[in-house]
A and B are shown apart, each in its own frame.
Chain A
Amino acid sequence: MDSAVFRNLVRHEFKGKGSWRKQSRSRISRSWWLAYCLIILIAAIGTMTYFAINEQLQINSIWFVTMGFPYMFFFWGYGSVKREWENDTYGWWLTMPYPRTKLITAKWLGIWLKLLIGIVIVFAVLSVYVLILSLVLPAYSLADVGSFMVAGVDWLTLVAGFSPLIIALGILISIVQNSSLRPISPVLWIVFMGGLSLIFQLPDVVISENMIQQGTEQIRAEWFPYAWELPMVMGISWILTYAVLKFSGYLLENKLEL
């Protein structure tokens, strides 16, 4: 397969293709949906700003907003395959004249790129928000902003670094559900969901010390607060990612049950 086709595949996966299930919700409920999101967003910003004005906001704890990212990314991976079935487009997808490992890899890469962009946007938006706070409110200094950003980089690189595996596992479980291995999918759900909580164990350093206590104890966030094993674990997770994608391709090629 030439690289232009692969690039197009990734681009196709990157763009939203829509969902018939969501489509069948009426327009009105969709605008309600949007309204709810806006209300929650405004409430969150409002609460944060309120506490900030009262000088009670430990700004690093703002990063807790992103705590759900690993689960979210898992479900992006899961949903990307599941949607082909929900939409009844799997026949088109799987009869494309390319190896199925490539089809899966393109999906995976499309999601990962989307996720990276998302992370950068969230980082930028929150940083700007904190910067504005520090300029307006005397309680916060520019040094706090710097510390906030360092903590953010620490945490988000961790998320971004492990997300390839997280997405791949989400994809895998969705494929398992459409293959002859379907009976083991409940086991996989338990293992993966349990395993995801590991990611919150790992950065204990980041969350408990840097994020929570920092505001009171004036400890500055440091670059790379992790143990030296972490890069190694991350490296291993990338190798695992490759293996999971290969295995997913194998399942699609040989064990599909339609």
Chain B
Amino acid sequence: MEEQQVGSLHFHIDFSQPLYEQILDQARSAIAKGEIALGDKMPSVRELAQELRINPNTVMRAYQELERDGLTEKRRGQGTYVTSSPEHVASFRTALAARYIDSFMEQMESLGLAWEDIETYIRQKRDTEQGGSDL
């Protein structure tokens, strides 16, 4: 698996996983993290397909999903742009965070952990990480 840079986006494509989800996830997080700035032009479907050597239909489907997320918008005849509204990105980030938390909580609950336990684990984790970086 190698990292590929397309415009200001980075992709790691792993051919042993479904491609559509990888492209979608990696593009989403690039936008959420601000790796590609608000209002910037996304690489064209063709460019991305060429660089990653994948079926353009797969890229197209991922782009359609990004548009539904409200993260990008198509401008007629010009291509796809990252939304220029920080609210859209923020609300998407909140929604995504909520989804991650949900799945995290689900897993924790499946271990039979209660709220307090989880809080303790998180605090411990934060302490070791901060301690580590302080050293």
Contact between A and B in the complex (any CB pair below 8 Å): no
- A-binding residues in B (CB < 8 A): none
- B-binding residues in A (CB < 8 A): none
